[in-house]
Amino acid sequence: MGYAYDDQNIFAKILRGEIPNKTIAETEHTLAFADIYPQAPVHILVIPKGAYVCFDHFAAEASDAEIVDFHRVAARICADLNLAPGGDGDGYRTLSNAGAHAVQDVPHYHMHILGGRPLGPMLTRREGA
């Protein structure tokens, strides 16, 4: 049990500078960059620089400084791109896929920030939920 981090995943390569990215924000602990296949006019990925596989791994094992920095970067992006409702923006969605049922493609924790158009329902409803 537990998490084994694969340091050959695409985001690890981005963090090492082996693959280019369109950087939106960068701090000591966090990198944010444009998703290569955007699913909305705004589609940004926020990732910790540390080796965490998914949300629960990050939230359980990262330092307080990493966790705070990650969320502050995400919040600043929402404000700077005028998405935040508190700044009169039209809103946005954050989401994070973990594991097989959520179809997580890249096994390095990332938060998607989506916005710039009405995003529709969270999930497609299905009989039996």
Active site residues: 110
Q: What are the CA-CA distances from residue 89 to residues 8, 35, 47, 48 (Å)?
A: 37, 21, 23, 26
Q: Does 27 bind ligand 5GP (CB under 6 A)?
A: no
How many residues belong to the site for ligand 5GP (CB under 6 A)? 13
CB atoms within 10 A of CB 90: 13
Query: What is the total residue count of the chain?
Result: 129
Contact region for ligand 5GP (CB under 6 A) — 31-39, 60-68, 86-94, 117-125?
31-39
Beta strands per DSSP E along 17-126: 23-26, 30-34, 42-48, 92-95, 111-115
Among 105, 118, 121, 127, binds ligand 5GP (CB under 6 A): 105
Q: Is residue 41 within the footprint of ligand 5GP (CB under 6 A)?
A: no
The SS3 call for residue 59 is helix
Please select the residue that binds ligand 5GP; options are 12, 15, 21, 50, rule is CB under 6 A. Answer: 21
3-state class (DSSP) for residue 106 = coil
* Binds ligand 5GP by CB under 6 A, chosen from 5, 10, 55, 72: 10
Tell me if 94 contacts ligand 5GP by CB under 6 A: no
